[in-house]
Chains A and B, each alone.
Chain A
Amino acid sequence: MKITRFLMRTQHAGWITLFVKTPIKPSCFHAALLRPPIPRICIGQEARWIHCGSTVYKDKPDNSDLSKLFENETKAKSLVTHDDLFERTAKDAKNKASFNRVVDVFNKQDIRRRGHVEFIYAALQKMPEFGVERDLAVYNKLLDVFPKEVFVPRNFIQRMFNHYPRQQECAVQVLEQMENYGIVPNVETKVLLVQIFGEKGHPVRKYQRLMYWLPKFKHINPFPVPFELPQDPIDLARFSLTRIANDLDAKITVYQYPSTDVTETGEEVTQPHIVGIQGPEQISLLAKHNPNRPVFVEGPFPLWLRKTCVQYYLLRADLVPPEERVQDEPDPELVGPNQCLFYPWQIDLDLSRDMGDDFSYDVEDVEEGPVYAMCMAGQGDQATLARWICGLQETNPILGRIPTVFRLESGSRELQTAADVQHDSGQNSQSGSEQEHIIEEEQLHSQRMKQ
């Protein structure tokens, strides 16, 4: 219903511009409207339109910018006016300054702020386009478009009923958009709303709700992500790897910085960045890995940081079958915080205090293979990741003896071109003896594919 009303309004506006501009004499205009089948309401509305039209054509010599705009409007004969105001005023650049300029132009256009509800709805829609959807000052400026002290209810009857419902709905919509983008309003917003709609209007209620709930949930995320992610891919990789590793002891190594070289033949070679993370526990786990079993490079897996998605790769192994598992003896040198120095190291006491003190969960554990390292790279192809494995061998010499199998999803392989692949394979052969095992695994990989 709201929308139909809105459409009706816009159609009316278009009809006026059409009608007034066509050279019809006023007499026949009235005659046409005063025909019997039309209800009387029409006449009143018609009078208002004419009035509206006259204000539209009022020339304002003090503002040349505005008069230019109106000239444009008369030429365009458009139906929707406010979208066009945004389009025309901010032709060159769409930023905060131009958005504010549009709002200023509208404010100076008419002292009665006619059509401000439509203008605010149009502005709300245009805000993401201008990149100001997260700017509190802009929202306050939009609320400032409402005329002050006109919509404040003056007696109890007006207060009881919904006073100026469309304007209140519109202001609530502005606040709702603030809510959706997670912007907490400030005192200026409240002062504006109280000035416009009075102490107990719906927009002020909405403001109170926002001020109650938004600060409660503002810092609730235990893994916070900044709104502005770091631009440098290495910083971004560092941030996301520390997030997913969940290990304060883990060390981040940058295996390769991004660089662009020009070779002798003149073609440009871009080296993607490779950033890896590995914790001390993972190193010790990898040292215990049975060299006869392969390790796998898997990926890419997605990680969402607000609205951006980054990809990471894992070095992991399959689950060790139960017959090969070694029960490691507790280290006698290692004294934990809850171990007593005067007793033998392994105390086999049933420490449960009561019948009901079983706090474990009655489910079978999900068993998965261990994760040995994680990395993020600029390219997800096999050569780049092989360079990561080479870099890992400095801290984990056992990797030289373990076969490595690449299980990369086909989605990322499609992105690289054939020339890249040839070039990468050439680099592989150059990098020497360390690459031998990887070439082996490529064969292993191809065997897997054949199976």
Chain B
Amino acid sequence: MAVSRVTLQTPAGVCGLFRRQLLQPSLSHPTILSTRSIYGEYKRPGQPPDKRWPWEKIRFDFSKGVEGIQKHFGLLKDEFVGRLRGPEGRPLLDHMLEQTLVQWEFRGPESLDQWVVSSDKEIGGQSEAYLKLGKNNTTCMLYGTLCSVPPRDGETRYSGYCTLRSKQTLLSFDRKRHFDWSTFNTLYIRFRGDGRPWMINISAEMYFSHNKNDIYSYFLYTRGGPYWQEVKIPFSKFFLSSRGRIQDDQHCLWLDKVNNIGFTLGDKADGPFQLEIDFIALCIDRAHTEEFAYEKFKRNPEVP
């Protein structure tokens, strides 16, 4: 008995590798071709890899094609007509003179379609988050329960987050539409919470695909109580992180191609939470001249 255990367990690396190759020699597809391995998509621990060929994921359907043509050509027409009216579909004078811009407001049920709610259920956790309209249908209420018990998959060490994130807006033929906020320097949010700290995440489009996990974040502290809170956060304070880790060499957020904004809760206090957002806007703070709040010079000793 003991001997058999030795043969199975002792040569950890060698025997394990060998066995894996022996027992699963017939991989149906070479892994190099799947987009997952190219882009390093997040795979939930314990989930089998998606081994379908790319064409197996496409739904060939005639009605879907007709719908797509209607939708995309409609969007294309809107684009052209809007361009005639002025930049971004607004008159030129408005565009040139604007000092503030309300980017997201919650005035009706259709405004909730621009947002995605997610929680750590995706990685096997137990938090719950829901989105609904506020009492008089003019605010957005994000509520749920936070639970920071990590899933028992042997890999995940931390858990417990809830996120509200705006959807990527799309132009015709599924091109990404970016927000150009380069004329503004401050984010303005009107909200009320329950005393928990939140985090604001802004992701911008970069040139290289390895920058797609880059997120610029800053904190949003709520006071709690029945009164609304108005917060101005300069974009210069946002710091760069990638996959949840603050990066060593920081750069300021480039505001010309912003993709989406998100709110994350992960303060490890288990229990119910709520955040009510009135609107999210941008403004120009003439008194704020800082370009970037963190050091950009080479540090000594230099961190590689």
Q: Is the CB of A371 within 8 A of B227?
A: yes
Docked complex: B283-304 residues within 8 A CB-CB of A: 283, 294, 301, 303
Q: Is B7 an interface residue (CB 8 A)?
A: yes
- Report A's interface with B, CB cutoff 8 A: 3-5, 8, 11-12, 15, 18-19, 32-33, 35, 37-39, 41-42, 45, 180, 199-200, 205, 208-209, 213, 216-217, 220-223, 240, 243-246, 301-307, 309, 312, 314, 316, 355-364, 366-368, 371, 374
CA distance A216 to B219 in the complex (A): 12
Residues of A within 8 A of B134 (CB): 366
17 residue pairs A–B, Cβ–Cβ below 8 Å: A32-B3, A38-B7, A41-B10, A42-B10, A221-B221, A244-B227, A246-B223, A246-B227, A301-B226, A303-B195, A304-B196, A304-B271, A309-B269, A356-B99, A358-B99, A360-B100, A363-B105
**What residue of chain A has the Cβ atom nearest to residue B281's Cβ?**
A361
Chain A min CB distance to B227 (Å): 6
Given contacts A35-B3, A208-B303, A364-B138, A316 and B226 within 8 Å (CB-CB): yes
- Counting CB contacts under 8 A, is B154 at the interface? yes
A223 touches B271 (CB 8 A): no
Q: How far does the Cβ of B275 sit from chain A's closest Cβ, in whole Å?
A: 11
How many residue pairs between the two chains, A and B, have CB atoms under 8 Å in the bound complex?
140
Query: Contacts A8-B9, A41-B11, A209-B248 given: A363-B221 contact, CB under 8 Å?
Result: no
Contacts A39-B11, A243-B223, A303-B224 known; A200 to B269 CB distance under 8 Å? no
- A303 & B11 in contact (Cβ 8 Å cutoff): no
Cβ 8 A contact of B7, one of A37, A216, A307: A37
From B278, which residue of chain A is reached at the shortest CB distance? A366
Nearest-neighbour CB distance to chain B for A170, whole angstroms, equals 14
Given contacts A243-B195, A314-B226, 12 further A-B contacts (CB under 8 A): A3-B155, A5-B12, A38-B7, A39-B15, A41-B10, A301-B226, A302-B271, A359-B99, A361-B279, A363-B105, A363-B279, A366-B136
Residues of A within 8 A of B139 (CB): 366
Bound Cα distance A4, B17 (Å): 13
B225 at the A interface (CB under 8 A): yes
CB neighbours of A358 from chain B (8 A):
97, 99-100
Q: How far is the CB of A168 from chain B (nearest CB, A)?
A: 15
Kindly state the interface size class of chain B when it binds its partner.
Answer: 35 or more
Contact B99 A357 (CB under 8 A): yes
Q: Is the CB of B197 within 8 A of A4?
A: no
- 1/0 contact string of B199-223 vs chain A (CB within 8 Å): 0000000000000000000010111
Does B178 make an interface contact (CB < 8 A)?
no
Cβ proximity bits B25-63 to A, threshold 8 Å, 1 near / 0 not: 000000000000000000000000000000000000000
Q: Determine the distance from Cα of A389 to Cα of B96 in the docked complex, in whole angstroms.
A: 54
In the complex where A37-B7, A304-B271, A359-B100 touch, is A374 in contact with B246 (Cβ < 8 A)? Answer: no
**Chain A positions within 8 Å of B2 at CB level:** 15, 18-19, 32
Q: Which residues of B approach A to under 8 Å, CB–CB?
A: 2-3, 5-7, 9-12, 14-15, 93, 96-100, 102, 105, 107, 134-136, 138-139, 154-155, 158, 188, 194-197, 219, 221-228, 246, 248, 268-269, 271-274, 278-279, 281, 283, 294, 301, 303
Closest to B154 in A: A3
Contact of A303 with B12 in the complex, beta carbons under 8 Å:
no
Q: Which A residue sits closest to B195, measured CB to CB?
A: A304
User: Please, how many angstroms separate the alpha-carbon atoms of A208 and B15 in the complex?
Assistant: 40
Closest 8 CB pairs of A and B: A244-B225, A356-B97, A304-B195, A303-B224, A307-B269, A303-B195, A304-B196, A371-B226
Asked if B221 and A362 make an inter-chain contact with CB atoms under 8 angstroms apart, the answer reads: no
B231 (CB) vs chain A CBs: closest residue: A222
Main secondary structure of the interface of A (DSSP, over half): mixed
Contact of B102 among A39, A301, A306, A363 (CB under 8 A): A363
B160 to chain A, nearest CB (A): 12
Contact yes or no, B97 A355, CB < 8 A = yes
- Residues in A whose Cβ lies below 8 Å from that of B158: 180
Q: B102 contacts A361, CB within 8 Å? A: yes
B residues less than 8 Å from A356 (CB atoms):
96-99
Partner of A246, one of B102, B225, B268, B272: B225
Q: Which residue of B lies closest to A360 (CB)?
A: B100
On whether the beta carbons of B102 and A244 are closer than 8 Å, the reply is no
Bound CA–CA A3/B155 (angstroms): 8
- B63 to nearest A CB, angstroms? 39
Q: Are A245 and B269 in contact (CB under 8 A)?
A: no
Q: Which residues of A contact B227 (CB under 8 A)?
A: 244, 246, 371
Name the residue in B5, B100, B224, B278 with the highest tally of chain A Cβ atoms < 10 Å from its Cβ: B224
What residues on A are CB-neighbors of B195 within 8 Å?
A: 223, 243-244, 303-305
Q: Measured between alpha carbons, how far is A38 from B223 in the docked complex, in Å? A: 65
Cβ–Cβ contact B99 & A217, under 8 A: no
Task: Give chain A nearest CB distance to B129 CB in angstroms.
Answer: 16
The CA of A12 and the CA of B102, in the complex, are separated in Å by 63
Instruction: Report A-chain residues with C-beta under 8 Å of the C-beta of B107.
Output: 363-364
With A356-B96, A359-B99 known as contacts, the answer to whether A243 contacts B224 (CB < 8 A) is: yes
Which of chain B's residues have a CB closer than 8 A to the CB of A5? 12
Q: Which chain A residues border B303 with CB–CB below 8 Å?
A: 205, 208-209
CA distance A199 to B246 in the complex (A): 22
Closest A residue to B224 using CB positions: A303
Partner of B225, one of A32, A220, A243, A360: A243
- Residues from chain A with a CB closer than 8 A to the CB of B226 are 244, 301, 314, 316, 371, 374
- Complex CA gap A223/B271 in Å reads 20
> How many Å from the CB of A46 to the closest CB on chain B?
8
CA distance in complex: A180, B273 (Å): 21
Q: Across the two chains, which residue of chain A brings its CB closest to B282?
A: A361
Least CB separation from A173: chain B residue: B157
Contact of B269 among A180, A304, A316, A374 (CB under 8 A): A304
CA distance A200 to B136 in the complex (A): 58
Bound-complex Cα distance A218 to B239 (A): 15
Q: CA A243 – CA B196 in complex, angstroms? A: 13
